[in-house]
Amino acid sequence: MKSKKILVIFTAILMICSLFLSLKTSAASRYYISATDGVNVRKGPGTNYSTTGDMLYYNTELTVIETKPNEQGCSDKWYHVKYNNGTKEGYVCGTYVREEQLADIDQNGEYEQYLKEQGFPESYWQKLKTLHNLHSNWTFKAVKTNLDFNDAIDNESILGKSLIDGSDTSLRSKEPPAYDPSTGIYKQYEPGWYAASRDTVKYYLDPRNFLSEKTIFMFETLDYNSSYQTKEAVEKILGSSYMVKLYPDYANAFVEAAQKYNVSPTHLASRVRQETSLNGSISSSGESFVYAYDPNSNQGNNRTYSGIYNFYNIGAYGYMNPAIRGLIWANGGEDGTVTSYGRPWDTPYKAILGGAQYIAEGYISAGQNTLYFEKFNVSPYSQNPIYSHQYMTNIRGALSEAETTYNSYKNMGLLNETYEFLIPVYENMDDVSDSNTPSGGNEDTGSDTVVSVNTIATNIGVKVNNSNMSGIALGTTGNDLINRVKNISSNASVSVSNNGKLGTGNTITISSNGESKTYTIIVYGDPNGDGTINIFDLVRTQKIILGTVSPTEAQRNAADANKDGKVDIFDLVRIQKHILNITNIVQ
């Protein structure tokens, strides 16, 4: 009888232990790719072996079969691994592999309950707890985007919005017109940059792929903190760059900008390094350049400029040479009359301070206050429409800058400082914590996707501000805009008040996904609305200045040819110069 009682008690203990263990996710060593730009998989342990044709990207999980001694081309040992859910195998140099001991997860644990209260799904917990165990003074806050994850992928996959460089064609979209199957040629949206595939966008959009010590800084808040964001931290980022010779006092300038505009100087320095590289570029050298005329955009004047700096590459976008376009922006337009943000940036100091003001006011103070939110505007606090006003098209930009920030903090011994990380959470995310390695394919994501009116309007090559639409090249027709809308979404309906050449006051109405919005078109320098900048616009602008006519809001905006917020003599001069073919008015 006694032995029976002991057996019952023993069985009960086993059941309790089993129940307790079921509430925990055990820690285990896991292996991941650590190279942010990708690494080749080889058929044997050495670079003398050919590649398998696959490249693996950051945070791809590996199953290690065995290790081999260091051989040709790798100072570390070689890992014989399986990947792609165990369906493929090959060899990877150990320099690009990281081993990570993930934390135990207890469903009833104190920190797990904190993460749950924050709003983090369970698929975030293990990596965040691992980071918490490493750095207990780091704070992680869930930012609920209130956006469906698949909808976000669709919107960020619109052709031209997210670009990828490099020779790996599997990352590129094959959706027309990004790819021509008859020729096998991928369209370059900017020199050397191609439309990212939907799988690639999904990978870089999923925050859970970047919850590691090295990449978590893409979620760091970018406000200024004087306790660790110092001159020395800036020098760790740019101390081996062209900046040392170009402008020896650069570090003090970045700190001054940080204090003045409440923006992290390490973020500013990382952005400069990302945009101009350690060796510099035409955007940072001050060298002479020609603003060549581009018939497709009707921009350019074939004039030579020099002594202009644009370290952050602000305004550097479009089909013509983006860097040159950015330098014209930094010059204050073709004739240098636009003076906002301290332009023209004709000294390195002015470029550092003015660019910091632009980034702080346009992004950080406007709700896009992390690297992630600057790249993907899904912030519920953004003052700009979602999926628009995104700083960079480079889909790996935030990841690259996060790595630079991490290395700077690590070299300065700052990793144990107090940091706050704002991490997005989407609705209807799958339960796995790691997306598949990005890959291309013959996907069709854009032309039949139902997207919002705002997403369509901000992706047809124009600028949208509330109900106004500008940035339309002279000579653009209503039919041109209709075709652009249909290229974004064939499900949208669109009408224009003028199918011919568009001018100030014309309207376009876009309807999609149960909503409809009408935009009034503004062509700068065309206040009389005939779609051409001529003597009649000069006369109309003069009358607006003298108060002898009562212009509509669109006409007044169009008369503000230099876009400084007022209509005055400088606008008359700008329109006159355009008519005389001295300088073109930038739309």
- Together in a domain, 162 and 202: yes
Q: What confidence tier does 464 reach under pLDDT thresholds 50, 70, 90?
A: confident
92-118: pLDDT as tens digits: 999 999 998 899 999 999 999 999 999
Say yes or no to pLDDT of 24 above 50: no
The closest alpha carbon to 258, from 272, 269, 247, belongs to: 269
10: in domain: no
Share of the chain above pLDDT 70, in %: 91
Residue 23: pLDDT above 60?
Answer: no
Residues with Cβ within 8 Å of residue 231, at least 6 apart in sequence: 251, 252, 254, 255
Domain end among 420, 446, 472: 446
- What pLDDT is attached to residue 12? 47
> Residues 272, 148: one domain?
no
Instruction: Count CA within 13 A, CB hemisphere, residue 579.
Output: 17
On whether both 474 and 545 belong to a single domain, the answer is no
Residues in a beta bridge with 29: 101
Q: Which domain covers residue 36, as residue numbers?
A: 29-101
Q: Which residues contact 53 (CB under 8 A, 6 or more apart)?
A: none
State whether 237 and 352 are in the same domain: yes
The full DSSP string for 130-186 is HHHHH-TT-EEEEEEEEEEHHHHHHHHTSTTTSEE-SS-GGGBB-STTSEETTTTEE
CB 425 within 8 A of CB 145: yes
Where does the pLDDT of residue 69 fall: very low under 50, low under 70, confident under 90, or very high at 90 and above?
confident
Q: Are residues 137 and 266 in the same domain?
A: no
pLDDT tens for each residue of 130-181? 999 999 999 999 999 999 999 999 999 988 889 999 888 989 999 888 898 8
Residue 13 confidence (pLDDT):
44
Rounded to whole angstroms, what are the CA distances from 245 to 249, 254, 280, 418, 459? 10, 16, 11, 33, 40
Identify whether residues 240 and 313 lie together within a single domain. Answer: yes
Last residue of a domain, one of 60, 75, 101: 101
Q: Which of 66-75, 194-203, 295-304, 402-411 has the highest mean pLDDT?
A: 194-203
Task: Assess whether 262 and 352 both reside in one domain.
Answer: yes
The answer to whether position 260 is within a domain reads: yes
What's the whole-number mean pLDDT along residues 201-229?
A: 93
Check residue 280 and give its pLDDT.
Answer: 95
174-202 burial string, b = 16+ CB within 10 Å, else e?
Answer: bbeebbeeeeeebbebbeebbbbbbbbbb
| Other CB atoms within 10 A of residue 15 CB | 10
Q: List pLDDT tens digits, range 382-419.
A: 988 888 889 889 999 999 999 988 988 898 888 988 89
Tell whether the model's pLDDT for residue 32 goes beyond 80: yes
In a domain, 329, yes or no: yes
* Of the ranges 298-302, 318-322, 327-331, 416-420, the best mean pLDDT one: 327-331
How far is it, in rounded angstroms, from Cα 9 to Cα 484?
74
Q: Can you tell me which residue has the tokens 């051409």?
A: 532
Q: How many percent of the chain have pLDDT more than 90?
A: 59
Number of domains in the chain: 5
Is there a single domain that holds both residue 390 and residue 321?
no
Residue 110 lies inside a defined structural domain of this protein: no
Based on the fold, state whether residues 510 and 474 are members of the same structural domain: yes
Least confident of 20-24, 115-119, 344-348: 20-24
Which one of 390, 419, 446 terminates a domain? 446
The answer on 413 and 385 residing in a single domain is: yes
State the average pLDDT over residues 564-582.
Answer: 92
pLDDT value for 297: 67
- Rounded to an integer, the average pLDDT of 72-79 is 88
Confidence band for 433, pLDDT divided at 50, 70 and 90: low
* Domain-located, residue 16: no
Report pLDDT for 27.
53
Check residues 27 and 90 and name the one with the higher pLDDT.
Answer: 90
Mean pLDDT of 310-329: 87
Please tell me which residue, 446 or 235, carries the higher pLDDT value. Answer: 235
pLDDT surpassing 50 at residue 16: no
Region 522-545: what's the mean pLDDT?
Answer: 96
On whether residue 587 sits in a domain, the answer given is no
- pLDDT of res. 556: 97
Q: Which band of pLDDT confidence, cut at 50, 70 and 90, is reported for residue 450?
A: low
- Is 530 contained in some domain? no
Q: Residue 494 pLDDT more than 70? A: yes
Q: CATH number of the domain that 47 lies in?
A: 2.30.30.40
Return the minimum-mean-pLDDT range out of 10-14, 37-41, 203-207, 290-294: 10-14
Which whole number is the average pLDDT over 240-266? 95
pLDDT at 10: 46
Whether residue 233 sits in one domain with residue 336: yes
Mean pLDDT score, 432-442? 52
Instruction: Report which listed range, 31-35, 156-160, 420-424, is most confident.
Output: 420-424
Is the residue at 7 inside a domain? no
Q: Are residues 354 and 233 in the same domain?
A: yes
Residue pLDDT, tens place only, 547-561: 999 999 999 999 999
Instruction: Give me the chain's average pLDDT, please.
Output: 88
Q: What is the DSSP letter of 531?
A: S
Mean pLDDT of 274-286: 93
At 100 the pLDDT is 86
- Nearest one of 164, 165, 146, 162 to 154, comparing CA atoms: 162
Predicted pLDDT of residue 28: 62
